[in-house]
């Protein structure tokens, strides 16, 4: 073994850069946060090549004194905290003093700053972490940081960068989060010389509407709740406005954007009875509490937090949101009387730190059943369903053998949800959506194991509006999508066309299906999404295409479903999630009627 050696400062910074600035958007976040910490009232961003070629942030904040310029680029140097007490009560966005040092280590950086009293600005440049002497420069009051050729000296990191469009998409997202959190600050974003986004100083509501669009604006409910030193305020969309991903979810803890499991869980519970479980609510919420009651120093990028009293926080968030949603919930459903109580009076769900609530954040486990028709689902005529769903069973729905198959023969459909059948033991009750979903899931899985999901081309391609991030994903993941059975094409700056879709899912809405799969890829994205998230993606597809509640099936269709289930069971796959069917024996029925006792 070679001897132990101290790492050089440059190498330390390059290692840190892997954590703090794994892509241009992360560098942008750090620079924007520095501008806000410096009290800027106006911040402008210029990008080129998705932020990789060039990334510049200009602010009108307090500026940095000439003597401090080299320190600003040094590791563990910060003006924001000096003691442990400061750290425990930190209110600024930055405090670790490592962002600029890390960024400088992996780019050509130029920092120009002028304090308010100074006659002119000063500049310091750094190339791969090597500093040049400070020089006089021209520049307005405030600070400008410009990065060129991000990762020029770390090819391994550069390899992880995605297409220009994808990196730009991530930068836009970061920009929006920051813009959302500080409506009083004027902000603009340019890419390759073209204006992308520009917002003046404005009220919070105007800012949210400007960034999330008119549809969100017309659906949102405002909220402001306080209790015991906690405050939650902002906007939340009524359940009628919902998304197929968590892309319209902005949650800020003391002004800092976070993604937190406890928060996600409280949100999901609050929307529990009013939102189809596979859809995601939209909101922009600010949660404020004593900084000493939350630890933001959990992760270098600070998007995770830890609350001192998670239970109290969860209860408060849940109650505040439920209260705001209560009136909307009633009007959202045509049959409000059917809603199984809004849980307002009843005991709130309790958050446990160790709760392994996969469902809280990833609600699409296989075998998941959408809540019964609280949100109207676009359902088509059942005509021809059988042919589409079970082509292999045509004409053989009720085999003429003397032996009863394990799941028996269908008798009827109950409440639009269950298939009742009779077998040798008695009554079989099948959850038709769950069963169909499971069958489709196994079919897709088998197809993918063997190579690729067979595809079926559409006579008329379906089109969908897409974000830049999504069009970028389509280009980037064309192969993965093809293996999933999709052929997607970018046909305009914000339009995608679905030319082919997975053959086993013939009945699904191609555009919606494609969108959900893209969002899935995006969310767990970079790297090899298909490989890592394969089962999740297939589960999403299966759930999407599975026969919905309240669709009436004919007896042959029901029998086909039973036969397909048997074939799937025999394939020896383990059963995921909740059961798809249950048996009630004749003996059990007899007991109900006290027969033979
Ligand atoms: P941190 O933000 O955690 O303190 P950084 O590496 O991001 O660490 O920045 C180091 C220091 O440089 C900051 O503490 C601050 O004093 C100064 N600085 C960075 N960017 C700006 C800016 N835009 N305006 C004024 N000062 C800045
Ligand atoms: Mg910082």
**CA distances (Å), origin 26, targets 106, 144, 171, 303:** 13, 17, 8, 11
* Per-residue pLDDT, 360: 33
Q: What is the CA radius of gyration of the chain?
A: 28
b vs e for 508-518, b when ≥16 Cβ sit within 10 Å of the residue's Cβ? Answer: bbbbbbbbbbb
Phi, psi of 539 (to 5 degrees): -65, -40
Query: Which CATH number among 2.40.50.140, 3.30.1540.20, 3.30.530.20, 2.120.10.30 corresponds to the domain 329-597?
Result: 3.30.1540.20
What is the atom index within ligand 1 of the atom nearest the CA of 97? 8
Separation between Cα atoms, residue 527 and residue 229, nearest integer Å: 42
Question: Which has more confidence, 539 or 355?
Answer: 539
The span from the first CA to the last CA of the chain, in angstroms, equals 80
What is the atom index within ligand 1 of the atom nearest the CA of 78? 14
Q: Is the pLDDT of residue 531 over 50?
A: yes
Question: Which has more confidence, 314 or 82?
Answer: 314
38 lines ligand 1 (CB under 6 A): yes
b vs e for 264-303, b when ≥16 Cβ sit within 10 Å of the residue's Cβ? Answer: bbbbbbbbbbbbbbbbbbbbbbbbbbeeeebebeeebebe
Least Cα distance to 302 among 265, 273, 260, 342 occurs for: 260
* Per-residue pLDDT, 532: 64
Q: Is the pLDDT of residue 471 over 50?
A: yes
Separation between Cα atoms, residue 340 and residue 374, nearest integer Å: 11
- Per-chain mean pLDDT for the chain: 81
- Cβ atoms of 172 and 468 within 8 Å: the answer is yes
227-246 average pLDDT score: 89
Q: What's the gap in Å between 178 CA and the centre of ligand 1? A: 16
181 lines ligand 1 (CB under 6 A): no
* Per-residue pLDDT, 125: 97
Separation between Cα atoms, residue 63 and residue 142, nearest integer Å: 5
**How many helices and strands, by DSSP H and E, does the chain display?**
20, 25
* Structural domain spans, the chain: 9-201, 205-325, 329-597
Least confident of 61-65, 118-122, 357-361, 461-465: 357-361
Residue 155, H or E segment: helix 155-159
Q: What's the gap in Å between 20 CA and the centre of ligand 1? A: 14
Identify the top-confidence range among 73-87, 162-176, 239-253, 318-332.
Answer: 162-176
Ligand showing the shortest atom-to-Cα distance for residue 143: 1
Copy the structure tokens of residue 193. Answer: 């010389």
Q: How confident is the model at residue 528 (pLDDT cuts 50, 70, 90)?
A: low
Ligand showing the shortest atom-to-Cα distance for residue 33: 2
What is the atom index within ligand 1 of the atom nearest the CA of 142? 24
* Per-residue pLDDT, 82: 82
Query: By alpha-carbon position, which residue is closest to atom 13 of ligand 1?
Result: 78
In sequence order, which residues have a C-beta less than 8 Å from that of residue 549 and are 6 or more positions away?
369, 370, 372, 373, 416, 417, 432, 433
Q: What's the gap in Å between 523 CA and the centre of ligand 1? A: 30
In sequence order, which residues have a C-beta less than 8 Å from that of residue 23 and are 6 or more positions away?
160, 161, 162, 167, 170
Q: Which CATH architecture has domain 9-201?
A: 2-Layer Sandwich (3.30)
Q: What's the gap in Å between 115 CA and the centre of ligand 1? A: 13
What is the atom index within ligand 1 of the atom nearest the CA of 102? 6
Least confident of 23-27, 29-33, 46-50, 81-85: 81-85
* Per-residue pLDDT, 333: 35
Least confident of 82-91, 157-166, 290-299, 388-397: 388-397
Question: Which has more confidence, 392 or 319?
Answer: 319
113-125 average pLDDT score: 95
**Beta strands 294-295; 306-307: pairing state:** antiparallel
64-79 average pLDDT score: 91
491-503 average pLDDT score: 89
Q: How confident is the model at residue 277 (pLDDT cuts 50, 70, 90)?
A: low
Least Cα distance to 94 among 72, 110, 113 occurs for: 72
Ligand showing the shortest atom-to-Cα distance for residue 100: 1
Least confident of 93-97, 471-475, 521-525: 521-525
558-573 average pLDDT score: 73
Q: Per residue in 539-562, pLDDT tens?
A: 888 887 787 767 788 888 899 889
Q: What's the gap in Å between 361 CA and the centre of ligand 2? A: 29
72 lines ligand 1 (CB under 6 A): yes
**Beta strands 142-148; 194-199: pairing state:** unpaired
Q: What's the gap in Å between 293 CA and the centre of ligand 1? A: 25
CATH number for the region 205-325 comes to 3.30.230.10
């Amino acid at each position: 073994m070679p001897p132990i050696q101290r790492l050089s400062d440059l190498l330390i910074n390059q290692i840190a850069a892997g954590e703090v600035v794994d892509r241009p958007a992360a560098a942008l976040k750090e620079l924007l946060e520095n501008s806000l910490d410096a009290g800027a009232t106006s911040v402008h961003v210029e990008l080129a090549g998705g932020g990789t070629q060039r990334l510049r942030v200009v602010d009108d904040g307090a500026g940095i004194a000439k003597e401090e310029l080299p320190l600003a680029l040094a590791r563990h140097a910060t003006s924001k905290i000096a003691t442990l007490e400061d750290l425990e009560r930190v209110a600024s966005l930055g405090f670790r003093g490592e962002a600029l040092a890390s960024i400088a280590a992996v780019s050509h950086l130029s920092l120009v700053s002028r304090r308010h009293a100074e006659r002119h600005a000063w500049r310091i440049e750094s190339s791969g972490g090597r500093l040049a002497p400070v020089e006089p420069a021209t520049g307005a009051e405030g600070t400008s940081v410009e990065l060129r050729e991000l990762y020029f000296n770390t090819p391994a990191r550069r390899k992880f960068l995605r297409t220009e469009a994808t990196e730009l998409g991530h930068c836009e997202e970061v920009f929006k989060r920051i813009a959302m959190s500080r409506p009083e600050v004027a902000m603009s974003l340019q890419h390759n010389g073209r204006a992308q986004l520009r917002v003046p100083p404005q009220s919070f509501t105007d800012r949210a509407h400007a960034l999330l669009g008119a549809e969100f604006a017309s659906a949102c409910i405002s909220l402001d709740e306080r209790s015991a030193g906690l405050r939650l305020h902002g906007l939340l969309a009524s359940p009628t406005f919902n998304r197929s991903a968590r892309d319209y979810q902005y949650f800020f803890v003391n002004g800092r954007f976070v993604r937190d499991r406890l928060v996600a869980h409280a949100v999901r519970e609050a929307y529990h009875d009013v939102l189809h479980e596979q859809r995601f609510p939209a909101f922009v919420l600010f949660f404020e509490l004593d900084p000493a009651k939350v630890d933001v120093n959990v992760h270098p990028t600070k998007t995770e937090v830890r609350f001192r009293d998670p239970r109290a926080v969860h209860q408060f968030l849940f109650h505040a949101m439920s209260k705001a949603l209560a009136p909307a919930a009633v009007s959202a459903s045509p049959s409000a009387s059917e809603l199984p109580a809004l849980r307002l009076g009843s005991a709130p769900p309790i958050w446990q730190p160790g709760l392994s609530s996969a469902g809280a954040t990833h609600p699409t486990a296989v075998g998941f059943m959408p809540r019964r028709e609280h949100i109207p689902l676009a359902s088509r005529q059942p005509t021809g369903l059988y042919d589409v769903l079970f082509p292999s069973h045509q004409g053989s729905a009720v085999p003429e053998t003397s032996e009863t198959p394990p799941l028996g023969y269908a008798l009827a459909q109950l409440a639009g949800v269950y298939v009742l059948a009779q077998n040798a033991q008695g009554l079989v009750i099948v959850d038709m959506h769950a069963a169909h979903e499971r069958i489709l899931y196994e079919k897709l899985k088998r197809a993918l194991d063997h190579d690729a999901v067979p595809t079926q081309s559409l006579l008329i391609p379906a089109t969908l509006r897409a974000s830049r991030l999504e069009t970028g994903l389509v280009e980037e993941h064309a192969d993965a999508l093809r293996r999933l059975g999709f052929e997607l094409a970018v046909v305009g700056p914000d339009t995608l066309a679905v030319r082919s879709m997975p053959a086993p899912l013939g009945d699904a809405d191609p555009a919606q299906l494609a969108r959900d799969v893209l969002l899935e890829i995006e969310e767990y994205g970079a790297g090899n999404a298909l490989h890592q998230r394969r089962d999740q993606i297939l589960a999403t597809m299966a759930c999407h295409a599975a026969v919905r509640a309240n669709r009436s099936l004919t007896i042959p269709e029901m029998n086909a479903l039973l036969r397909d289930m048997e074939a799937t069971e025999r394939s020896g796959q383990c059963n995921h999630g909740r059961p798809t069917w249950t048996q009630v024996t004749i003996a059990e029925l007899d007991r109900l009627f006290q027969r033979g006792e």
